[in-house]
């Protein structure tokens, strides 16, 4: 296993762990200890950092998955567009939609302006985050699978 293969296993696992930590610890904790306005500012900052990190990690994972897909296609055991690439692209799309497209609409929605309510936008953004987390967890799961997983081991004779 070379360095790129190791990074292909490690990065999705760390990314998934980071997403789960943000969802379960970093965003609820401020609301438990601060006032709603202050907590909202802290969480907005955390989610901003997470979104930018997710874009960078998503592109990096996409490049690593692309490398692996090319190697598989050269061996004749896969396509140049792999499931791993689709999962990485899906995670990047969820980041763009959930943070960079929906989040800027939230202040106006909170003020009662716009086509969607704050609750609707928050729900859509949270759904994008949850879907992204599932896709990254699937990437980590697939990357950690032993080579040839699912194949039956040779039977021993004797």
Walk along the chain (158 residues) in steps of 10 and give the mean pLDDT of each run: 86 96 94 93 95 97 91 84 93 96 92 92 96 97 72 43
Residue 96 CA to residue 90 CA, distance in Å, equals 10
- For 76, the token pair is 């004749």
Residue 26 CA to residue 50 CA, distance in Å, equals 11
Q: Are 30 and 64 in contact (CB under 8 A)?
A: no
Residue 61 CA to residue 45 CA, distance in Å, equals 24
The pLDDT assigned to 143 comes to: 86
Please report whether residue 156 resides in a domain: no
Please report whether residue 151 resides in a domain: no
Q: Are 97 and 114 in contact (CB under 8 A)?
A: no
The pLDDT assigned to 3 comes to: 86
The pLDDT assigned to 101 comes to: 96
Q: Count of domains in the chain?
A: 1
Q: Count CB neighbours of 84 within 10 A.
A: 22
Query: What domain range is 90 assigned to?
Result: 3-142
Please report whether residue 152 resides in a domain: no
The pLDDT assigned to 158 comes to: 42
Question: Would you say how long the chain is, in residues?
Answer: 158
The pLDDT assigned to 157 comes to: 45
């Amino acid at each position: 296993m070379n360095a790129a293969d190791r990074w292909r296993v490690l990065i999705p696992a760390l990314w998934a762990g980071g997403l789960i930590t943000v969802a379960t610890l970093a965003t609820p904790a401020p609301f438990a200890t601060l006032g709603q306005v202050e907590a909202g500012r802290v969480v907005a900052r955390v989610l901003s950092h997470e979104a930018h990190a997710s874009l960078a990690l998503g592109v990096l994972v996409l490049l690593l998955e692309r490398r692996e897909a090319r190697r598989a296609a050269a061996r004749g055991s896969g396509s140049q567009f792999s499931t791993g690439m689709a999962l990485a692209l899906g995670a990047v799309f969820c980041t763009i939609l959930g943070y960079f497209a929906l989040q800027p609409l939230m202040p106006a929605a909170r003020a009662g302006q716009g086509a969607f309510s704050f609750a609707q936008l928050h729900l859509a953004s949270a759904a994008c985050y949850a879907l992204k987390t599932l896709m990254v967890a699937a990437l980590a799961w697939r990357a950690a699978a032993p080579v040839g997983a699912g194949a039956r081991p040779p039977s021993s004779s004797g």
